[in-house]
Amino acid sequence: MTTRPVTLPACAVTALFFSLAAPALAAFDEALPYPTEVALSQEGDKGFVYRRFPGSQRLYTYDLDKDGKSACNETCIGARPPVYAPASAKPVGEWSVVRRDDGRMQWAYRGHPVYTFFHDRPNEPHGDGEDGVWHIVPYEK
Among residues 101, 38, 104, 112, the alpha carbon closest in space to that of 75 is found at 101
- Greatest Cα pair distance in the chain: 82
For residue 26, pLDDT over 60 is answered with no
* More confident site: 27 or 85: 85
- pLDDT average, residue stretch 21-34: 66
Residues 6+ away with beta carbon under 8 Å from 98: 68, 69, 70, 105, 106, 108, 113
Give pLDDT tens digits for 71-107. 999 888 899 999 999 999 999 999 999 999 999 999 9
- Give the span between the Cα atoms of 138 and 98, in whole angstroms: 21
106/12 Cα distance (integer angstroms): 47
Specify the pTM: 0.78
